[in-house]
Amino acid sequence: MVNKPTIYLGGIQCRPGQDDKFNKWYNETHIPLLFKSEHVMSVTRYKLVPVIEGQNPTYLTTYDFKDKGGVEAWFASPFMAAAVADTKKTWAGEEFEAPWQAVYEPIMTWRK
């Protein structure tokens, strides 16, 4: 079986008035903690552009991995454990919502 590049997606919704604090922490602390793992190849953060109606989280983060095994190793790593511990410590009592997470492998890519 061929190893396929794999992505982990996480949607996040902050409490009102916490966006600046959240983005500073996420960009300057959380991502660097997760990048200590050799499995994370790249991370991209997105902010919702409300063009389509619906209840969607304000922020989306994509983490790119070489393959599914990299995602599994990352979740089991001490780097992920440290990031989770830091999240709980930093946001105790002010938690943001992470209403969904998912891991995807590609089926096909089209390019113009």
pLDDT digit of tens for each residue in the chain (112 aa)? 568 999 999 999 999 999 999 999 999 999 999 888 899 999 999 999 988 888 899 999 999 999 999 999 999 999 999 999 999 999 998 889 999 999 999 998 889 9
Q: What is the pLDDT of residue 54?
A: 80
Q: What is the pLDDT of residue 1?
A: 52
DSSP 107: S
Instruction: Note the CATH number of domain 6-49+64-104.
Output: 3.30.70
Q: What is the pLDDT of residue 52?
A: 80
What are 65's strand-pairing partners? 6, 40
Amino acid residing at 24: K
Q: What is the pLDDT of residue 58?
A: 94
Instruction: Kindly report the number of other CB atoms within 10 A of residue 78's CB atom.
Output: 9
Question: Could you state, in order of their start, the residue ranges of all structural domains in the chain?
Answer: 6-49+64-104
Distances (CA, A) of 19 to 47, 55, 71, 96: 11, 18, 27, 10
Q: Look up tokens 């095994």; give the residue.
A: 69
DSSP 1: -
User: What distance in Å separates the CA atoms of residue 37 and residue 50, rounded to the nearest whole number?
Assistant: 33
